[in-house]
């Protein structure tokens, strides 16, 4: 569902979906279609239908009568179909991923304190959002950006015009650029914002399925050549697994120290434009499905030094070095596909937490959470996105 622009509903439209054929519920401004969940609800479909077309904030929070686990909220997140149109009659109840009601006895707003010590701020609609990303929850990543209003407000990039020349000629300071590029925007559904706006444009877009098509055959051929140097298949398998392990370290290192060079960037347009082209555009437009996986030409440039490195480390045996290298390339394939699916697919239960973790890297804390296929190295090096006691 992320990856397309979600529609808006009036309260009357939501209330009309009040049967077992079509059952909508709301949680704050979020609208969920829970029709498919009716038969799976532990308490039976009737308990859900009792709230069909209604807001379920109160019953979800009433633990004494009907406690709900985190799994219930995960089911809801997969059922999001749109947002309630703001109106005087629209409820301002908060979802589990939305701002808390932080008011004192006099009705004055008290900003919630985020886990990184920063205070939340209020956006134009009065919602509490993270001061560095301007977002409060992962659903915000799929809300359409008002292009004209965004450009008028921030004076950064106009999404209706080619982005590359705007970055190159923008004369942005590094501080301003980093602040803006980490405030995610969302272009119109099913399309990519123009990068060059000319004949180079198709070369900037890579569908996810290109990755296995391009890289699996070389991996297979490399393993075939390497197999001639092993007396037992187990030896090659061991080297392949070793390569997979090395990839997990490379994945973390590249993401943290190259893609997020950020504050070590030179404060000039060359450094800023290179940063935007390599990874900044992904944080600026994180749900752009055609600029999410790495273009083959770019990865070939990054992979070439690793070929030399593998054969330098395992200099005594070409076959071992090749098997290890193939394991690393296969790890990259898994990484890019995982990255795409975390952004654009409903995933099995055991991956939902990983999806939540990675999307928090985009809307909450881009200075932590560098592991994509696993948070393992984040835990080792102290860059894990911690569970939040207070959520925006």
d(CA 355, CA 341): 8
* pLDDT at residue 61 greater than cutoff 80: no
pLDDT reported for residue 157 = 95
**Pairing, β 121-122 against β 128-129:** antiparallel
Q: Residue 324 region, left (φ>0) first, then alpha (ψ -120 to 50), else beta?
A: alpha
Percent of the chain exceeding pLDDT 90 equals 48
pLDDT reported for residue 105 = 32
90's CB contacts (< 8 A; 6+ apart) are: 11, 29, 84
Neighbouring-strand partners of residue 103:
109
d(CA 381, CA 389): 22
pLDDT reported for residue 113 = 55
63 or 72: whose pLDDT is higher? 72
As given in the structure block, the two tokens for residue 214 are 């391009």
pLDDT reported for residue 114 = 57
Residue with tokens 């071992």: 320
Provide the annotated binding site: 41, 68, 255, 260, 279, 282-283, 339, 343, 358, 361-362
377's CB contacts (< 8 A; 6+ apart) are: 248, 249, 251, 252, 370, 371
Residue-wise pLDDT tens digits, 294-330? 999 888 998 999 999 999 999 999 999 999 999 999 9
Q: What is the mean pLDDT of residues 133-162?
A: 85
* pLDDT at residue 246 greater than cutoff 70: yes
d(CA 282, CA 292): 7
Distance linking the first and last C-alpha atoms of the chain = 23
Provide the annotated binding site for Zn(2+): 255, 260, 279, 282-283, 339, 343, 358, 361-362
**Pairing, β 121-122 against β 30-33:** unpaired
Q: Which helix (H) or strand (E) holds 33?
A: strand 30-33
d(CA 25, CA 79): 10
Q: Let me know: does 357 contact 375? Beta carbons within 8 Å.
A: yes
pLDDT reported for residue 94 = 37
* pLDDT at residue 164 greater than cutoff 80: yes
Residue-wise pLDDT tens digits, 72-112? 666 677 778 877 775 433 333 333 343 344 443 334 456 65
Q: What is the mean pLDDT of residues 221-246?
A: 95
Residue 110 sits at the vertex; the CA angle it makes with 106 and 115, to the nearest 5 degrees, is 155
**7-11, 99-103, 170-174, 363-367 — which is least confidently predicted?**
99-103
Q: Let me know: does 30 contact 83? Beta carbons within 8 Å.
A: yes
User: pLDDT band at residue 8, thresholds of 50, 70 and 90?
Assistant: confident
**Side-chain half-sphere CA neighbours of 275 within 13 A:** 26
8 or 365: whose pLDDT is higher? 365
Indicate the Cα dihedral angle 290, 291, 292, 294, nearest 10°: 110
Sign of torsion, CA 153 155 156 160?
A: positive
Task: Indicate the angle between helix axes 210-227 and 233-254, nearest 10 degrees.
Answer: 140
Q: What is the mean pLDDT of residues 145-163?
A: 91
Provide the annotated binding site for heme: 41, 68
Q: Let me know: does 367 contact 255? Beta carbons within 8 Å.
A: no
* pLDDT at residue 4 greater than cutoff 50: no
**110-119, 168-177, 315-324 — which is least confidently predicted?**
110-119
d(CA 32, CA 36): 11
Its CATH class, for the domain covering 8-84, is alpha beta
Average pLDDT over the chain, rounded to whole? 83
Residue-wise pLDDT tens digits, 248-293? 999 999 999 999 998 899 999 999 999 999 999 999 999 999 999 9
132 or 344: whose pLDDT is higher? 344
- Would you kindly state where each structural domain of the chain is located, as residue ranges? 8-84, 97-392
Q: Is 0.85 topped by the overall pTM?
A: no
pLDDT reported for residue 316 = 93
């Amino acid at each position: 569902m992320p990856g397309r622009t979600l529609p808006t509903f009036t309260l009357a439209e939501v209330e009309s979906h009040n049967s077992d054929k079509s059952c909508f519920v709301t949680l704050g401004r979020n609208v969920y279609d829970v029709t498919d969940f009716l038969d799976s609800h532990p308490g039976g479909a009737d308990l859900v239908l009792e709230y069909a077309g209604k807001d379920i904030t109160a019953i979800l929070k009433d633990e004494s009568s009907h406690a709900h686990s985190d799994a219930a909220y995960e089911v809801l997140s997969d059922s999001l179909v749109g947002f309630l149109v703001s109106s005087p009659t629209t409820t301002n109840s908060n979802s589990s991923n939305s701002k808390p009601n932080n008011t004192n006895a006099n009705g004055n707003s008290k900003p919630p304190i985020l886990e990184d010590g920063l205070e939340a701020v209020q956006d134009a609609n009065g919602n509490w959002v993270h001061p560095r990303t301007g977002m409060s929850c992962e659903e915000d990543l799929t809300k359409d950006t008002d292009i004209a209003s965004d450009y008028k407000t921030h004076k950064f990039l106009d999404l209706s015009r080619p982005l590359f020349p705007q970055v190159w000629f923008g004369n942005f300071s590094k501080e301003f650029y980093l602040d803006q590029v980490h405030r995610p925007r969302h272009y119109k559904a099913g399309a990519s914002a123009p990068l060059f706006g000319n004949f180079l444009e198709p070369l900037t877009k890579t569908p996810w399925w290109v990755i296995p098509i391009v890289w699996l055959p070389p991996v297979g051929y490399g393993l075939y050549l390497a197999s001639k140097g092993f007396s037992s298949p187990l030896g090659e398998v061991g080297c392949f697994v070793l390569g997979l392990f090395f990839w997990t370290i490379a994945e973390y290192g590249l993401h943290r120290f190259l893609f997020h060079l950020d504050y070590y960037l030179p404060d000039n347009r060359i450094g800023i434009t290179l940063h935007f082209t390599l990874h900044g555009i992904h944080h600026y437009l994180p749900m752009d499905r055609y600029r999410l996986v790495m273009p083959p030409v770019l990865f070939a440039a990054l992979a070439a030094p690793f070929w030399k490195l593998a054969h330098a480390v395992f200099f005594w045996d070409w076959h071992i070095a090749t098997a290890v290298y193939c394991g690393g390339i296969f790890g990259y394939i898994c990484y890019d596909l995982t990255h795409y699916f975390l952004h654009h697919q409903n995933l099995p239960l055991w991956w939902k937490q990983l999806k939540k973790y990675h999307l928090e890297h985009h809307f909450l804390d881009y200075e932590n959470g560098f592991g994509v296929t696993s948070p393992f190295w984040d835990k080792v090096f102290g860059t894990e996105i911690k569970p939040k006691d207070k959520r925006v």
